[in-house]
Amino acid sequence: MSDHSNNDHSRPKKGARHWPLWLLPLAGLLSLIWFLIRVVPRPSRAAYPCMQVAAPMASGFVVWLTGVVTSLFALRKGKSFLRQSRTALAWACLTIALATGVVTLMTMPPRLALADAVTPNQPIGVAKGIHPGRVVWVHDPGATDWLGPGDGHLWESDHTDQVVVDRMLGLALRGLTAENSEAEAWDALFHHFNASHGNGDVGYLAGEKIAIKVNLVGFLEGSWGGVDPATYDLVRKIDYMNTSPQMMLALLRQLVNVAGVDPAHISIGDPVTLFPNQYYQPLYDEFPEVSYLDALGDFGRTVVTPSAVDFHWSVHPTGVAQDKVLTSFAEAEYFINLANLKSHGGAGITLCGKNYYGWLRRPSEAGLYEMHASLPNNVPAEASYRCIVDLMGHAHSGGKALVYLVDGLYAGVHPDDDVPTTWDFEPFNGDWTSSVFASQDPVAIDSVGFDFLQQEGDPRVYPQMAGADDYLTEAALADDPPSGTFYDPDNAGDLTRLSSLGVHEHWNNPQEKLYSRNLDPVNGQGIELVIADPTSVFSDGFETGDTSRW
C-alpha cells in the first residue's frame, strides 16, 4: 500500500541466518592485526569509524585469547598437583581454570549481528515521483574497461568511457520520466518539482541555483584521505570508489547543454573532502564557471561555510553545538543527490541516504552530535532512531531534491578496500557493476540498491548486518515510525512531523528483480524497477511491451 495508515507497522516475518562460530576468533584476530597496522604508526587513526568498528572485536579477541591460555595453563597445573596429592593447590588451579573459562566464554570476540532474511513485496510508505516509486537501472558493461591495479586508473578515459556514461545517464532520465528526449525529461522533472512544492506548474527559471552532493569519501580532508593538500594531486587511495569524474561530467553536460542551466549557478562536490586534480581538471576544462565544493577552497575550489539555517536532530542530543546547513545547499533552489553503490562497515550500505553525511559536515566533528551513534554497527536493533532520516527529510536536503542518482560504475566496500570489487551474480558475472540508478523517490532508490548490495554481499557481510535497512523503514513511515521518533529536523521542538519520505520494499528474487508495481502495474503500491537496455533503445523512443524493461 502506498499509504501506511492501514498497516500495523510490524516488520515482515523473517528467517534466521547463521555465522559459523569458528569465524568469530578469526575475525577477532584479523581485526587486531588490522587495528595494530593502522593505529600504531598513527595513533590518531583510532578515532576513525573503521577503527571504531574493529576495536571491540580486537579487544574482545585479546581478552578471549588471554582467558583461553590462562584456563588451559591452570587446568594443566591442577592435574599435575592432583597427581602429587597436593589437593589444595590442585583445587585452587581448577577453580582458576573454571573462572577463566567462564570469562573466556563471556568475552568471545563479538559476533557481527546479522539480519534475518527479508520478506519480498511488502511495500510500506508513500511512493514519490511522476511515476510513483519508479527506479530506473541502466547497466552497460561497455562503460568500464579496467583490469584493476596495474592497468592505469579507473577514472582515466581509457578505462571509463565518457560517451557510454553520457548515454547511460540520458537513458536513465528518459526512463524515469517516460519522455522521448532528455530535454523533455528535465522539463518534466522541474515541472513536477515545482507543482508538488506549491510553486505552480512551471519549469526551470533562469538564475535558479542547483547544488549537487557527490561522494568523494576517499578524498577526505586529513590524513585518511588520498589527496596531497599541498598540490591537490592523488597520492593514496588512487582507485577508491568515489563518484566518478565521468558521471559528474555527464550530469553537468545534462544540466548545462540540455536543461539550459547557467554553469555559474551550479555547485558540485563533497564539502568535507578535497577535490583532486585528476577529477577536477576534466570538469573544469569544460565548465570553468561551475563552483567545485571543497573543504579548503584552494586551487580554485570553493570552500563551503555554514549558513544561518539550523539543522536539528530528532533525538534531541544535549551538550552539543547547533548544526547549520552549509551555504551552497541553503542557497540552492534545487538539490541533486549523486551517491555511490557501496557496502559500509558501520552502516551496512551507503547510498543516497548515507551520502548526506558529507552534505552537513564530518560525522565525528568535535562538539557536534556524533552521527555514527545511530548506525547499525552501534545500534543493530530494528525500530531504532536513525539520524539518516533527519538528513533525508530536512527542507534543504530532501525538501529540495530534484532527482536521486547512484553511480554504480564501480561498486566497493567502504572503508575496508582501497579498490572496487567485481560482482558475481547475474548480469555482472565477474565484471564491474557498470550501472547507474535514478529515481525521484529517495527511499525506493536506496531500497533497490540495498537489494543489489545484499544479494552480492562481501566477505564481511556488511549489507547483511542487522539494522542495515532499518533507516528505510523509518523513512518510509516517518510520520509514524516503528521507533516512535518524532522526526522533525527543521525545528528545535517537536512541531511538524515529517511525512513519509518514500516507499520501501524488497524484490521478489534476485533473478527476476520484480517489485510490487512490476508484478501489478495497475494496483501495485510499491516500487517499480525499470530496467533499461542501452543496446535496444533508440533516440526516437523506447520499446513497448514489458513496461519494466525498455
What is the SS3 string spanning 99-155?
A: HHHHHHHHCCCCCCCECCCCCCCCCEECCCCCCCCEEEEEECHHHECCCCCCCCCCC
C-alpha cell at 47: 578515532
Q: Where does 368-400 show beta strands of DSSP type E?
A: none
Q: What angle do CA 78, 80, 82 make, to 5 degrees?
A: 70
- Quick one: CA dihedral 240, 246, 251, 253, positive or negative? positive
Identify the pLDDT of residue 30: 61
C-alpha cell at 251: 550530469
Exposure b/e, 476-495, CB count within 10 A at least 16 = b: bbbbebbbebbbbbbeeeee
Q: For residue 98, give the nearest of 136, 135, 72 by alpha carbon.
A: 72
CA 431 to chain centre: 21
Could you tell me if 400 and 334 are in contact, meaning their C-beta atoms sit under 8 angstroms apart? yes
Q: How many CB atoms lie within 10 A of CB 425?
A: 13
Strand partners, 350: 342
Identify the pLDDT of residue 539: 41
Residue 295: phi and psi, rounded to 5, are -75, -30
Task: Give the torsion through C-alpha atoms of 86, 90, 91, 92, to 10 deg.
Answer: 110
Say which residues have a Cβ less than 8 Å from residue 296's Cβ, sequence separation at least 6: 221, 229, 274, 303
Report which residue type is found at 92.
A
**DSSP assignment string, 14-80:** -------TTHHHHHHHHHHHHHHHHHTT-GGGGGSHHHHHHHHHHHHHHHHHHHHHHHHHHHHHHHH
Identify the pLDDT of residue 47: 43
Helix (H, G, I), strand (E, B) or coil at 431: strand
Long-range contacts: 278-286, Cβ < 8 Å, 24+?
278/153, 278/155, 278/233, 278/234, 278/245, 279/155, 279/216, 279/219, 279/242, 279/245, 279/248, 280/232, 282/157, 282/245, 282/249, 283/245, 283/248, 283/249, 283/252, 286/249, 286/252, 286/253
Could you tell me if 347 and 291 are in contact, meaning their C-beta atoms sit under 8 angstroms apart? no
| pTM for this predicted structure | 0.82
Task: Give the torsion through C-alpha atoms of 390, 393, 396, 397, to 10 deg.
Answer: 90
C-alpha cell at 151: 592497468
The Cα 427–Cα 34 span in angstroms is 33
Per-residue pLDDT of the chain (550 residues; tens, 9 = 90+): 333 333 333 333 333 334 444 445 655 666 667 566 655 665 544 444 454 455 555 665 566 566 666 666 666 776 776 677 777 776 776 677 677 655 555 554 445 678 888 899 999 999 999 999 999 999 999 999 999 999 999 999 999 999 999 999 999 999 999 999 999 999 999 999 999 999 999 999 999 999 999 999 999 999 999 999 999 999 999 999 999 999 999 999 999 999 999 999 999 999 999 999 999 999 999 999 999 999 999 999 999 999 999 999 999 999 999 999 999 999 999 999 999 999 999 999 999 999 999 999 999 999 999 999 999 999 999 999 999 999 999 999 999 999 999 999 999 999 999 999 999 999 999 999 999 999 999 999 999 999 999 998 766 789 999 999 999 999 999 999 999 999 999 999 999 999 999 999 999 999 999 999 999 999 999 999 999 878 754 444 343 334 444 5
Q: For residue 50, give the nearest of 418, 433, 384 by alpha carbon.
A: 418
Say which residues have a Cβ less than 8 Å from residue 407's Cβ, sequence separation at least 6: 214, 215, 243, 244, 247, 338, 339, 340, 341, 436
Q: For residue 387, give the nearest of 376, 396, 400 by alpha carbon.
A: 376
Could you tell me if 327 and 318 are in contact, meaning their C-beta atoms sit under 8 angstroms apart? no
Helices (H), 353-426: 357-360, 387-393
The length of the chain in residues reads 550
Long-range contacts: 471-474, Cβ < 8 Å, 24+?
471/353, 471/386, 471/388, 471/389, 472/353, 472/443, 472/446, 472/447, 472/504, 473/11, 473/124, 473/382, 473/383, 473/504, 474/383, 474/384, 474/385, 474/386, 474/389
Could you tell me if 298 and 287 are in contact, meaning their C-beta atoms sit under 8 angstroms apart? no
Q: For residue 269, give the nearest of 254, 291, 299, 237 by alpha carbon.
A: 291
The Cα 249–Cα 244 span in angstroms is 9
